[in-house]
Amino acid sequence: MAAEKYPYENLKIVDISHDKGGRYKPDRGFPSINVKNKKKHADKIKKELGSLTEEINQKASEQGIDPKLIFKIKFKQNVSEKDLARFGCDFLGDLASENNAQVVFSDQERLKTFYQKWEKFHSDDLTSKGNPKHNNFFANILSLSRLNAEDRKGFKLKDVDIEDDTTYFLDVDLWFSDTRAECLKDQENIKKILGDEGKITDFYIGDSIHLLRVKATGARLKELLEEERVCQIDIPPKLMSEFHQKLDLDLDKLNPVEVEADSPAVCVIDSGIVPEHPLIRNALVDSKVFREDLDDDIDEHGHGTMVAGIAVYGDLEESIENGLFKPSVRLLSARVTDSNSNLGPDDKLYIKQIEEAIKYYHENFNCRIFNLSLGDPNHYFLGQQYQSRWAHILDNLARKRNLIIVISTGNINEKHFNQDFGLEGEQIKKNFPFYLYTEEAGLLNPATAVNCISVGSINTELRTSRGFMDHSQKEKGIDRLRISKENEPSAFTRTGPGFNDTVKPDLVAYGGNMYYHARTNKLISNDYQSGIPSLNNNFFDDGKLFSCASGTSFSTPYISNLAAKILNYNKDFKNNTVRALLANSADYPLEVTEGIENYMQEMQSVILARLSQLKENTDDEELIELITSILDKRFLNTQNKNKLLKSGKLDEETKRLITAVPGVKAEYDDFLLRTSGYGFPDIDRALKSSETKVTLWAENSIKMDRFDVYKIPIPEDFISKTGLRKITVSLAFSPPVRHTRKDYAGYIMDFELVRGIDLEETLERAANDDKSENITDLGGERCSFCPKTGVIKNSTLQKATFEIKRTPKEYGNCYYLIVVSQDKWITNSAEFIETTDEENYSVVITLEHKKEEVKMYNEIKERIDQEVEVKPELEANV
């Protein structure tokens, strides 16, 4: 059926040869800043630097360790890494809890440079142009100070009442030193601080990251929180065991097909598997345990076996119904959790085990797809915090090894509903989907990883029969109150945005359902009515092949299975291409889009009632005026929403309400992306084309602050035939990352689609993007995407659609796609300057017409073939 619907190959395209000498790059030097009393300001800087230097040296002397001059500079506006170096300071990172606070390292020798330039600023030396020397750097400084203990407390440690005599296991993140030797010296100094009351039980030194697992008393922990070398300290992650219900299905014949030898591999990093399960052994290639405290690779919990079943077969419910069990992947299993589905042991860094598993299976089995249905239930993303070390390491692995790493967003369980949201029973139903847009519903660590695919969940139907339970139970369905409908976001799914407002989750798939059982007053999500079926690890004990459970843990391996099918189609596809194809093929179920629209409309009346009440109870004239204008319009738009939030005059309950409701209508796309990402992928749409849907793709590389241009042929039927037409563009790239930077990704990319102008003007406008006569000055020639590119621009996976409803004859038969890179810090970083001349990216474009009689494929193919033939000749002349 799929072959009939999409019979043609997708078409590869190439960019247009042009002078790639440069794209206009705005001046990124110091902002022009002045202070009223320059000498007083200069004296303040010198005093603060002298004081913090003295404190650091004195403390180090008392502890018997080497002093390390690490401190924070609070600026009016941030300064580049290169400019800090000119003043004798090495940039280490941004302070997560403060704006424009940069953490730097210096030493006595380099401080001479700082003081020399300070002296010229202080003494009114002038440049050749008559300007005060170094004015913009020193005038930009607000303060210099040591970091304090609160600066170093991680998300979970902030809630811990530290007791001196209590022993803690801790994840200690050190500011990264340039070399491994320097990192090891730092560890020796940490050992001296710990003394007899603590020890380093494990450590990890990787790309721009240095982690320790420490066992220490509360007294030593307090000392570490004051140590300059320490970036952050937190409590290690702990996973949570989940119940799953066995399925008793009568399958007369079970004839699993052996996996094909050249099928792509998927590694499930989890609680292990049961190698002799009849539906696993036909797909299993290798299974290994990556913990010294566990005896073997056997799944004692069941989570890993369930995840593996979906990774191998995809939709197991379909396999059960048609009786065909044909694996689409070669299965690899890395056991990292115990019988309670917990990471461990306590004295080890868990991410080392996960990294070891990824490297082992990539190097020995050429595995490129890794499934992590794991997350820390006590660490959800709030913003205003560092990117997680776990996410940082996964992002680097995905980038450097060309991997597809698929991660679950995590679940909201009954404990979270009660403790974090103050909800239970029917209250959850009444507050859906409001609570999904509150900060407590944030992604679990490590789902904020930007170079990986994060997966949320949408609902399956709530079963009352269909062969999964006795028909006599159907009448009892009235006791079961589902929280959300089929195809809506699952009640338990966690939501974005991700770090720096990136789109997260990237994708969604079916992860089961959840309901409230009225008679027992319980929240149920892991029985045969709510869960999705997979494999049972206790098959040999109870004779049941299958289990049912719900969660993003089980939507995630479905996406891993789709990624494997793409690699099975073309094993040479880069990771970025796989991500872009998945996103480009994705769509939202109608229930998702209608649900957001209904929620937005329903909550407007709630907000207006709250604002009306607030107006009656305040004497603030400005607030009264603003609320009056909102009430007169009868809706809260995004502009007024932002004014209210910035006013500082709202109580916490009103602020929480307004934050969790989209402003009409500008925030609709943003809220849609937060729950469902780019949607549910369709593997057939990803891999093939048809007469009415033609997909183009390219793998390319680009220098920083440059652009590429692609010629998109627009066929006659697309122009002349009436009806809805769409052009969808997906872009994927994998930048270097640093978890201590607010600009976590080393660069960003975006795209524009233009029409009705020729190639020469397109190239000129792209090259002048920060001057007049640029792309953004265009009117109808600039295609208006949905979501707007500003909503997705920070994401390393981007997808947007341009819809055409009226005949676009005046714009011609050729559009141009412009892909742009924008450096953030990669060219200022010594470790990347020599190794990253160009950065890889992939782009996928789909032209689609909703009229069945349209014929587009052959015309597009012929025109693309002509372009491919012409390009080598052009390149020879460039």
Instruction: Give the pLDDT mean for 177-201.
Output: 96
- Residue closest to 142 by CA, chosen among 101, 107, 95, 81: 101
Q: What are the residues whose beta carbons fall under 8 Å from the beta carbon of 178, sequence distance 6 or more? A: none
Topology (CATH) of 264-581? Rossmann fold (3.40.50)
**Local confidence band at 471 (pLDDT 50, 70, 90 cut-offs):** very low
Residue 472's pLDDT is: 45
Instruction: Give the pLDDT mean for 638-662.
Output: 92
Please say if 517 is a catalytic residue: no
**Local confidence band at 128 (pLDDT 50, 70, 90 cut-offs):** low
Residue 248's pLDDT is: 63
Instruction: Dig out the tokens for 156 from the structure.
Output: 């979970």
Q: Which of 186, 270, 299, 669 is catalytic?
A: 270
Instruction: Give the pLDDT mean for 120-125.
Output: 84
Tens-digit pLDDT profile for residues 206-249: 989 999 999 999 999 999 999 999 999 999 988 765 556 666 66
**Local confidence band at 878 (pLDDT 50, 70, 90 cut-offs):** very low
d(CA 14, CA 413): 48
Instruction: Give the pLDDT mean for 750-755.
Output: 95
Q: According to the CATH classification, is domain 2-26+690-877 in 1.10.3720.10?
A: no
Residue 129's pLDDT is: 67
Please say if 553 is a catalytic residue: yes
- For residue 329, what is the DSSP state? S
Q: Which of 303, 362, 379, 849 is catalytic?
A: 303
How high does pLDDT run on average in the chain? 90
| Superfamily for the 161-234 domain | Peptidase S8 propeptide/proteinase inhibitor I9 (3.30.70.80)
d(CA 590, CA 324): 30
Whether 364 and 254 have beta carbons less than 8 Å apart is answered as no
d(CA 689, CA 9): 6
Q: Which helix (H) or strand (E) holds 103?
A: strand 101-106
Whether 847 and 783 have beta carbons less than 8 Å apart is answered as no
Residue 772's pLDDT is: 54
Confirm whether pTM is higher than 0.85: yes
d(CA 193, CA 201): 15
Instruction: Give the pLDDT mean for 308-334.
Output: 94
**CA 767 from centroid of its chain's CA atoms:** 30
User: Is residue 156 over pLDDT 50?
Assistant: yes
Residue 251's pLDDT is: 60
d(CA 582, CA 730): 9
Which of 219-223, 350-354, 517-521 comes out lowest in average pLDDT? 517-521
CA angle (418, 419, 420) in 5-degree steps: 105
Residue 650's pLDDT is: 93
Please say if 690 is a catalytic residue: no
Which of 210-224, 465-479, 666-680 comes out lowest in average pLDDT? 465-479
- Residue closest to 813 by CA, chosen among 774, 766, 859, 870: 859
Q: Pairing state of beta strands 230-234 and 167-174? A: antiparallel
Whether 541 and 712 have beta carbons less than 8 Å apart is answered as no
N-term to C-term CA, the chain: 47
Distances (CA, A) of 5 to 81, 318, 563, 858: 53, 20, 21, 16
Whether 287 and 275 have beta carbons less than 8 Å apart is answered as yes
Amino acid at 158: K
Tens-digit pLDDT profile for residues 795-850: 999 999 999 988 777 888 999 999 999 999 988 776 665 555 899 999 999 999 99
User: Is residue 54 over pLDDT 80?
Assistant: yes
List the chain domain ranges.
Answer: 2-26+690-877, 38-139, 161-234, 264-581, 591-676
Name beta bridge partners: 330.
265
Instruction: Dig out the tokens for 471 from the structure.
Output: 């028909």
Q: Which of 553, 555, 676, 730 is catalytic?
A: 553
- Residue closest to 286 by CA, chosen among 343, 336, 330: 330
Residue 518's pLDDT is: 77
Instruction: Dig out the tokens for 524 from the structure.
Output: 């149920």
User: Is residue 24 over pLDDT 60?
Assistant: no
Q: What are the residues whose beta carbons fall under 8 Å from the beta carbon of 804, sequence distance 6 or more? A: 724, 725, 726, 727
Name beta bridge partners: 587.
680
Please classify residue 6 by burial: count the beta carbons closer than 10 Å to its beta carbon, then call 0-12 exposed, 13-18 middle and 19+ buried. Answer: buried
d(CA 868, CA 90): 47
d(CA 90, CA 82): 9
**Local confidence band at 91 (pLDDT 50, 70, 90 cut-offs):** very high
**Local confidence band at 766 (pLDDT 50, 70, 90 cut-offs):** confident
**CA 58 from centroid of its chain's CA atoms:** 42
Percent of all residues in the chain with a pLDDT value above 70, rounded to a whole number:
91
